Amino acid sequence: MLTLPPSVKIYLCTAPTDMRKGHDGLSAIVQNQLQADVFSGHFFVFVSRRGNRVKVLFWDNGGFVLIYKRLEKGRFRMPKSLSTDVVSVRLQSSQLALLLDGIDYSKVKNPPRWRPPQPGHFSPPPVTPPGAESKR
């Protein structure tokens, strides 16, 4: 399981990528096609045309880090419901871990996430005044 801070976002490039590209070529895709800041520390994920190779690019402490994985059998499972005008999709770290393991995360059911109420939007449960309780 990948453990990343919530401030790190993960972007999956939806177009197939030429895996001959290195740090500079992938950085150009991030800046020109994804319109994102390559130096932000966010993860940018690229999948090959055949779907059996993936590269993850991110900036860390003064330099680029490039992770490369090739599946000997099978393919990485991309999200199925992508329109042609979408250039990237946000992933959660658990989805990236599943993607890197070759698991189709679109078939995995996630439980609903609980989030604390926003300040000013909390509504406490109604209070019944003493003596107004209903009798059964």
What one-character DSSP code corresponds to residue 126? P
Closest among 4, 78, 16 to 42, alpha carbons compared = 4
Tokens representing 72 are 């000997």
Range of the domain at 41: 10-107
Domain count within the chain: 1
CA distance 66 to 100: 14
CB atoms within 10 A of CB 42: 19
Q: Does some domain include residue 47?
A: yes
| Whole-structure pTM value | 0.76
Averaged pLDDT, 2-23: 90
Q: Does some domain include residue 80?
A: yes
The model's pLDDT over 59-109, given as tens digits with 9 standing for 90+, comes to 998 899 999 999 998 888 877 656 667 888 999 888 898 888 888 777 777
Are 122 and 76 within 8 A, CB to CB? Answer: no
Sign for the pseudo-dihedral over CA of 115, 120, 123, 127: positive
Q: Does some domain include residue 74?
A: yes
Q: Does some domain include residue 120?
A: no
Q: Does some domain include residue 1?
A: no
pLDDT at 105: 73
Which residues sit opposite 125 in a β-bridge? none
